[in-house]
Chains A and B, each alone.
Chain A
Amino acid sequence: MEKTINITLKVWRQNGPKEKGRFETYKLDKVSIDSSFLEMLDMVNEQLINEYKEPVAFDHDCREGICGMCSLYINGRPHGPDDDVTTCQLHMRKFKDGQTITIEPWRSAAFPVIKDLIVDRRAFDKIIAAGGYVSVNTGGVPDANSIAIPKVDADEAMDSASCIGCGACVAACKNGSAMLFVSAKVSHLAMLPQGRVEGARRAKAMVAKMDELGFGNCTNTGACEVECPKNISLSNIARLNREFLSAKFQD
């Protein structure tokens, strides 16, 4: 037989960006431990709708850990108690029968709450728009193997590129710093020849945008690295520091 648990939820509810928020408590019975965390929230919303109450607003899209939309701070940790997974990949088997689960939005001045558990993460888009790309001319597609890239570099660039922009790093950081995100974006392009060309301009533009948007200064606590669902390494931050400083010293 399928195993189920009964849980109590303490969920942050907030009607709009300017409104005062509060916690509301919901009881939910017979949750299959095989269901995902977001499926459990779907059950909560179904229950609320049946009671003619407003459902809880939360972000999600792919529900398979690749889009970076889901974003919940669950029982003291971004993306919940499991390691290296997004909220959508979190299973209810990680919780105990009778447990109280507290669900909050990301807390950071640069990520204001839009509604309930949804925060505005457009700050990340603005940082990407400031320089997180390569400029290429249109034309014939060159053969992928025409530029030789050492395997080590290719692998490391791929690791950095796996950042999905979820913002858990900012949510976990006591300084509200976006350095892990920015460093992953700067790194994956800086390590490949096609991205190297614009390396200096990119590092300066993205860091300037990050500062302008009010993210904090990194003190290398490493909380971001622990909570990142994609295991983005702190060494990216050192690389960003070097990229930025050498770009500045060249000016």
Chain B
Amino acid sequence: MSNLLTASIGRKLLMSVSGLFLILFLFVHLTLNSFLLLDKVLGFKEVGQMFNAGVHFMGTNPLIKVIEPMLALGFLIHIIYSVILTVQNMKARGPQSYASGNKTSDVEFASQNMLVLGIVIFSFLAVHIMNFYMRMKGFITWEAGEVEFPFFGSMAKGENAYALVHETFKVLPIVLLYIVGSVALAFHLSHGFWSSFQTIGWNNSKWMPRLKCLSNILAIILGGGFSVIALAQYLFF
């Protein structure tokens, strides 16, 4: 175990594990977001009740309290190491570029631009956190009032998070920003997912093509999911 993190492969392991952890988080997040559309479908009395119940669950669950700092740490590690690795790589490449360019075929666009895609995701993330997280956690005051919603068989009272989301997604530039962020995420994951298994050392000529296929499916579900929800809120709610 000694000095694992001073080795290139050790640092890449951190990128890979933190990346996979972030993907796991994104699935939980997408599930919750899907409530924004689902309560209409599932026949809740008022639009927004299911989402509010979900937010209430997340806000009051002790497990989430533990996971939240872990998530922040995951982001921090992923971002810090992505910058360290990319700077090292630029140095290793050297200052001279090829005058005749790079005509190697069949190289994924995403794989060559992970940092750029990451920065787009990060910029989106900053706006996203300002929009929602800070307000829901009470760092920024916001007037939405309390509402009642069904919560595990009884009724519960909590803040009207749905109203906040609904208001936010009425603004077209914000919706567009969400779509840009989601598309960058989709590209990031179309390479990142299989790459992280390659990094961990799962080498298998049978499974690699399957993982690559799964990467694309994952990218479409997550990138598409977040975009569709934002767009649907803008158009239909």
CB neighbours (8 Å) of A93 from chain B are: none
A245 close to chain B: CB less than 8 A: yes
User: Cβ of A217 and Cβ of B8 under 8 Å apart?
Assistant: yes
Q: Does B104 lie within 8 Å of A223, measured CB to CB? A: yes
**Contact of A207 with B8 at beta-carbon distance under 8 Å, contacts A109-B93, A219-B111 already known:** yes
Are the C-beta atoms of A176 and B94 separated by less than 8 Å?
yes
Find out whether the CB atom of B199 lies under 8 angstroms from the CB atom of A220: yes
A156 to B159, CA, bound (A): 61
Cα of A234 to Cα of B99 in the assembled complex, Å: 27
In the bound complex, residues from chain B placing their C-beta under 8 Å from that of A74 are 100
Within 8 A of B (CB), among A220-242: 220-223, 226-227, 233-242
Chain A count of residues within 8 A CB distance of the other chain = 54
Min CB distance B80 to A, Å, is 14
A245 touches B9 (CB 8 A): yes
B233 within 8 A of A: no
Interface membership of chain A positions 123-154, coded 1 if the CB is closer than 8 angstroms to chain B and 0 otherwise: 00000000000000000000000000000000
Assess the B92–A238 pair: CB atoms within 8 A. Answer: no
Assembly CA distance A81 to B93 (angstroms): 22
- Verify B203–A219 contact, CB threshold 8 A: no
**A68-110 toward B: CB 8 Å interface, digit per residue (1/0)?**
0000011111000100000000000000000000101001111
What is the distance, in angstroms, from A110's C-beta to the closest C-beta of chain B? Answer: 7
Q: Are B12 and A217 closer than 8 Å at their CB atoms?
A: yes
Whether B111 lies near A75 (C-beta < 8 A) is no
- B89 to chain A: closest CB distance in Å? 4
Taking the complex as formed, is A249 at the interface, i.e. its CB lies under 8 A from any CB of chain B? yes
Per the 8 Å Cβ criterion, residues 1-30 of B in contact with A are: 1-2, 4, 6-13
Q: Shortest Cβ distance from A116 into chain B, in angstroms?
A: 14
Q: How far is the CA of A242 from the CA of B102 in the complex (A)?
A: 30
Shortest Cβ distance from A73 into chain B, in angstroms? 6
Question: Which B residues, 126 to 174, have Cβ-Cβ distances below 8 Å to chain A?
Answer: none
Which residues of A from 38 to 70 have beta carbons under 8 Å from B? Answer: none
Interface of A is mostly: mixed
In the bound assembly, the distance between CA atoms of A73 and B103 in angstroms comes to: 11
Whether B199 contacts A176 by the Cβ 8 Å rule is no
Q: In angstroms, how far is the closest chain B Cβ from the Cβ of A102?
A: 4
Contacts of B89 in A (CB 8 A): 174-177, 216-217, 219
Number of A-B residue pairs at CB separation under 8 A:
155
**Which residues of A lie under 8 Å from residue B101 when comparing CB positions?**
76
For residue A81, which residue of chain B has the nearest CB? B103
Contact of B202 among A81, A176, A236, A238 (CB under 8 A): A238
Cα–Cα distance between A23 and B107 once the two chains are bound (Å): 28
* A246 to B1 CA separation, bound complex (whole angstroms): 9
Asked whether A207 lies within 8 Å of B9 as measured between CB atoms, the reply is yes
Chain B residues with CB under 8 Å of A192's CB are none
Contact among A210, A222, A246 with B107 in the assembled complex (CB-CB below 8 Å): A222
Chain B min CB distance to A176 (Å) = 3
Complex: how many Å from CA A248 to CA B11? 13
**Assuming A221-B107, A221-B111, A222-B106, is B100 touching A73 (CB within 8 A)?**
yes
Contact in complex: A235, B208 (CB < 8 Å): yes
Taking the closest CB of chain A, its distance from the CB of B215, in whole angstroms, is 11
In the bound complex, how far is the Cα of B111 from the Cα of A245, in angstroms? 23
| In the complex, A37 has a CB within 8 A of chain B | no
Contact A107 B195 (CB under 8 A): no
Other than the given A108-B92, A234-B198, A239-B203, 7 more pairs (CB < 8 A) read A73-B98, A76-B102, A109-B93, A217-B88, A220-B111, A222-B108, A241-B9
Q: List A residues at the B interface (Cβ < 8 Å).
A: 10, 12, 23, 73-77, 81, 102, 104, 107-110, 172-177, 207-208, 210-211, 214-223, 226-227, 233-246, 248-249, 251
